Chains A and B, each alone.
Chain A
Amino acid sequence: MTRRETEALVGAFAALLTLAIGGAVVSALAGDTLVPVAAVLVMAFAKGRFIILDFMDLRDSPSILRTALIAWPCVLLFAAFARSITVALF
C-alpha cells in the first residue's frame, strides 16, 4: 500500500465521518421539512459514492459496473425524496 493510497483512503474516511456527523446534525436540528430532507439525502448519496469509489476501490473498474453501483443509492434516495415532495404537496 503506497503512501498516496493511504492518504486517499484516510481522506475518504474523514469525508465519510464528516458527512455522517453533518447528516445527523441537520436531521436533528432542522426536522422533516423538504430542504433538510434533501440535504440529508444528498449527503447519504455522497457517502455511498465514497464507499463505492474509495472503500471498494472501484475508481478504475469498468465504468458500467461503477455506474450501476452508484445508480443503486441514487435511485432509492431519489424515490424517497419524490415521496417527501408528494406528501408535502398533497
Chain B
Amino acid sequence: MAFDATTHKDADDDQLLLWILVWSELVAFGILIVAFVILSGFHAEAFDLARLHLRPGLAAANTAILLVSGYQVALAMRRRDELSRVRRPLVIAALLGFAFVAVKLFEYWGEVRYAGDATLNTFFELYFLITGFHLLHVLFGGVALLLIAWRPARENILLIATLWHVIDLVWLVMFPILYLA
C-alpha cells in the first residue's frame, strides 16, 4: 500500500515536471511570436513585402505532415499499456518529423538569399529565429521518438507524446501568423 502511494506520488511529480517543461516551451515560443506580431505592426509594409518571398504551399504541406505525425503519436499514447504495439506509430511519427525537417530546409534554401536585404532583414531574422527554434525541436523530438520506439516505457511515451503535440500546436499557431496575418 505504501509502495503504491509512493509510486503514484512519483507519477504525479513526473507529470508536474512534464507540465513545467511544456509551459517553459509555450512561454518561450509565445514571447518570440508576440515579438514578431509587435514588429510586424511597426514595419507592416516591409513584413508584407517579405511574406511575398515565402512559400506557403510548402508550409501547408508541412502542416499536413505534422498532423499525420501527431495522429501516429496519439495512437501510440493510447496503446502505451501494450508496449509491443507502440513501436510502429512512434517510428512513423519520427520519420514524418524528419520529412518536416527536410521540407523546411528546402524552403529555407529558397528564402535565405533575402535575409541580407536591408528592407527585409528584420522579418527574415525573426522568421529564421522562430522557425529555426521550432525546427530544432522537431529534429530532437524525432530522435527522441526513435529512442523511445527502440526502448518503449509507459512514462516516456506519455512524455514524448505530450511534447510532440506541443511542437505541433506551436506550428499550427505560428504558421498563419508568420505567413499571413
In the bound complex, what is the Cα–Cα distance between A16 and B172 (angstroms)?
A: 10
Chain A residues whose C-beta falls within 8 Å of the C-beta of B26 in the assembled complex: 72
Q: A44-B175, A83-B181 are in contact. Are A9 and B168 (CB under 8 A)?
A: no
A78 nearest CB across to chain B (Å) = 10
A55 nearest CB across to chain B (Å) = 4
**Secondary structure call for the A interface:** helix
In the bound complex, what is the Cα–Cα distance between A51 and B60 (angstroms)?
A: 17
Residue of B nearest to A72 (CB): B26
In the bound complex, what is the Cα–Cα distance between A8 and B180 (angstroms)?
A: 31
Contact with B along A11-33 (1 / 0, CB 8 A): 00100110011011001100010
Chain B residues whose C-beta falls within 8 Å of the C-beta of A56 in the assembled complex: 74, 161-162, 165
Q: A20-B64, A28-B56, A65-B19 are in contact. Are A57 and B74 (CB under 8 A)?
A: yes
Judged by a CB distance under 8 angstroms, whether B17 is at the interface is no
Q: A24-B56, A86-B41 are in contact. Are A44 and B172 (CB under 8 A)?
A: yes
**What class of interface size applies to chain A in its complex with B?**
35 or more
B180 near A37: Cβ-Cβ < 8 Å: yes
B63 near A20: Cβ-Cβ < 8 Å: yes
Residue of A nearest to B64 (CB): A20
Chain A residues whose C-beta falls within 8 Å of the C-beta of B78 in the assembled complex: 1, 5, 9, 57
Judged by a CB distance under 8 angstroms, whether B75 is at the interface is yes
B75 near A23: Cβ-Cβ < 8 Å: no
Chain B residues whose C-beta falls within 8 Å of the C-beta of A79 in the assembled complex: 34, 37
Q: A37-B181, A57-B78 are in contact. Are A17 and B176 (CB under 8 A)?
A: no
In the bound complex, what is the Cα–Cα distance between A81 and B180 (angstroms)?
A: 10
Chain A residues whose C-beta falls within 8 Å of the C-beta of B64 in the assembled complex: 17, 20-21
B44 near A87: Cβ-Cβ < 8 Å: yes
Among B5-13, B65-73, B117-125, B139-147, the one that faces the other chain is: B65-73
Q: Closest 6 A-B residue pairs measured CB to CB?
A: A24-B60, A80-B181, A55-B74, A87-B44, A80-B177, A13-B71
